[in-house]
Structure 1
Amino acid sequence: MDDKLMLMIPGPTPVPEQALLALAKHPIGHRSGEFSKVMAEVTEGLKWLHQTQNDVLVLTASGTGALEAGIINFLSPGDRVLCGANGKFGERWVEVCTAYGIQVETISAPWGQALDPEAFRLQLEADTAKEIKAVIITHSETSTGVVNDLETINRHVKAHGQALIIVDAVTSLGAMNVPVDAWDLDVVGSGSQKGYMIPPGLGFVSVSPKAWEAYKTAKCPRYYLDLGKYRKDAAKNSTPYTTPVNLVIALQTTLRMMREEGLEQIFARHSRHRAATRAAIKALNLGLLADDASAAYSITAVQPPEGLDAEKIRSVLKKQFSIVMAGGQDHLKGKIFRIGHLGFVSDRDILTAISALEATLRELGYEGAVPGAGVAAAVRVLAS
């Protein structure tokens, strides 16, 4: 059936009808007074969502563009940085640093496991000469559904005294508590197609006063991603380059929706959906890549039963039920599938996805669980 596709992936995420209607409006001039008023409201809403009084800048870019901007505006070639890598995106920031000649030291963990905060403490305390300029952390690792202990790692960064904390919050902002000011986070990057509930196309970077001081002496090459230009224009409720105005207007809509729901309620909804999804997967006797202590609010990575390829499960889900789940990346391709429960997702969506997954497993010959066990387990969580 046409137009029935249901996204249960870590991004792009489902878009509310109100936002779709905003996208369908006639564009307005990105230098007009009318659009300036929209930008003013959006900027204020972004500060609310980020829980900060710092600058939150809007870029026409993906989450990767936002993080690249968050790295190159505050560092110079030859600078020494620590970068956590326990998944595809942590490894990507290592690659970005290397591309710009930044001296990157990697603190790693196997995919599916959280980074050890103690490893960061030891490295930072050993740096008595204060040569480490930044620590780069992926808060919620999209490729594995693992959340890293950003709060504890950041405490070690703050104890160092000199290093900046640069955070990939692409699949945590809008789903999990990321209190930028309370935790004193210096640079936080994210993307529109996740918890913000609009299509891909916008990146966001929050910047602390300490980071702006580092900006003054940073020497990585930049032009389009020069955040100083965005800061200057943001003060006038504008942007330095052509803005996708309809995306910003859609963001105005979804930020209003989020404020109406409330931050604590948003976080509680995502936590409940994580719990329901994980309970269902356990009841179906399937594997979970991340343990309970390090499971992200936004993504659940599932290990299929012995003898079943994850890509086959995804294929049947899409063909028979028009439900899209994400596959594994790199060496995990075919070994896991990822259920996204991020952004505009309701209890009904969780139950629909789990019931379709059960039917798919039965069709593929899996008899390792009592029929209906997954849905029943999810219902128990959602009803509690």
Structure 2
Amino acid sequence: MDDKLMLMIPGPTPVPEQVLLAMAKHPIGHRTGDFSKIMEEVTQNLKWLHQTQNDVLILTVSGTGAVEAGIINFLSPGDRVLVGSNGKFGDRWAQVSKAYGLQVDTITAEWGQPLDPEQFRAKLEADTDKTIKAVIMTHSETSTGVLNDLETINRHVKAHGEALIIVDTVTSMSAYNIPVDEWGLDVVASGSQKGYMIPPGLGFVAVGPRAWEAYATAKLPRFYLDLGKYKKDGAKNTTPFTPPVNLFFALQAALRMMKAEGLESIFARHQRLTHSTRAAIKALGLPLFAPDGAGSPAITAVAPDRVDAEQIRSIMKKRFDIALAGGQDHLKGKIFRIGHLGFVSDRDILTAIAALEATLQELGYESFTPGAGIAAAAKVIANS
């Protein structure tokens, strides 16, 4: 049946109908008063979402572009940075840093395991000469379904006294409580096609006062991604370059929906979806890739040991029109990932788990009692 695709991947995520309809409006001039009103509204609502009184800048980029902007605006060639890497995206930030001539130290963990905050503490405390200029890390490591302990790592960065913390929150912003001002986070990057519930194309960078102090002396090359330009023009409710106007329509509609739901409800919903999905997977006798207590609010990674991950994905797509994500790099074919980020409801989880049960039965997997996954998920939902 056409047009029944159900996206259960970490991005792009499902888009609400009212957001799609907002995008369908005729474009308006981006140098008009009407656009400035939209810019003013979405900027204020982005500050609400980020729990900050400081700048939240809007760029026409992917999440990678937002993080790259967050790195290059506040550092100089040869600066020493500490990069946390326990998945594809942590690896990427190390690669970006090296591409710009930064001196990169990495703190690693096996893919599927969270970063150890104690390793950050030890490195930062040993840096008595204050040569570490920034700590760069991914909060929700999408490639593995692991949530890193940002709050604790950030405390160690603050105790250092000099280093900035630059955080990829691409799949945790708007799914997990990240009080930017309360925690004193310096640079926080995210992307539109995740918890924001709109299509790809916009990146967001929240910038605190310590980062702006570093910006004044930073010497890495930048032009299109020069956040100073976005700050200057943003103060006048405009943009330095042509924005995707219709994505701003979408962002306006999505942020209004999010405000109506409320931050606490948004976070509680994502926690419920995560816990119900993990409970269902356990009930089906399938191994979870991320340990309990470190599951991402965006996605649950599963490492089946008695059935093929790609066969599961194939049948889910062909028979039920449900798209699951696969593994990346050396995990390709070894895991599958169930997205539960953004415009996802309890019903979506129950539907996906029911389809997964049917898929497993078709593949001859008999290590579960039919209905066990649905029952486990439903119990979490009922008690949440």
- In 2, the alpha carbon distance for the partners of 1:178 and 1:172 equals 8
Deviation at 1:305, TM superposition (A): 3.5
* Whole-Å separation in 2 of the counterparts to 1:203 and 1:340: 20
* Alpha-carbon distance in 1 for matches of 2:142, 2:236: 34
- One-letter amino acid of the counterpart of residue 353, structure 1: A
Q: Which runs of 4+ in 1 moved over 6 A?
A: none
CA shift for structure 1 position 209: 0.8
For structure 1, the 5+ residue unaligned runs are: none
1:378 lines up with 2:380 in the alignment = no
Is 1:310 the counterpart of 2:302? The answer is: no
- Map of 1:352 onto structure 2: 351
Paired position in structure 2 for 1:61: 61
Structure 1 distance, partners of 2:32, 2:309, is 49
CA distance in 1 between counterparts of 2:360 and 2:163 reads 49
1:11-90, aligned counterparts within 5 Å? 11-90=11-90
Quick check: 1:369 aligned with 2:368? yes
CA distance in 2, matches of 1:345, 1:180: 24
What count of residue pairs does the alignment treat as equivalent? 383
Q: Which residue of 2 aligns with 1:119?
A: 119
Paired residue secondary structure (2:293)? helix
User: Post-superposition shift, 1:137?
Assistant: 1.1
Query: How many angstroms apart in 1 are the aligned matches of 2:280 and 2:78?
Result: 48
Letter in 2 for 1:126: A
Q: Deviations over 1:272-303 (max 9, x none)?
A: 00010000000000010001111111110011
Task: Give the TM-score normalised by the residue count of structure 1.
Answer: 0.99
List aligned pairs for 1:184-263, cutoff 5 A. 184-263=184-263
| Unaligned stretches of 5+ residues in structure 2 | none
Q: Which residue identity does 1:36 align to in structure 2?
A: S
Give the 5 Å matches for 1:146-165. 146-165=146-165
Please give the per-residue CA displacement for 1:330-384, whole angstroms capped at 9, x wherever unaligned.
0001100000000000010000000001101111111110011101111111111
* Deviations 1:223-273, CA, capped at 9 Å, x for gaps: 100000000100010110010011011110010100110000000000000
TM-score by length of structure 2 reads 0.99
CA distance in 2, matches of 1:15, 1:305: 33
- 1:31-78: per-residue Cα shift (whole Å, max 9, x none)? 111000000000000000000011000000000000000000001110
Counterpart mapping for 1:307-346 below 5 A: 308-346=307-345
Specify the code of the residue in structure 2 equivalent to 1:366.
Answer: Y
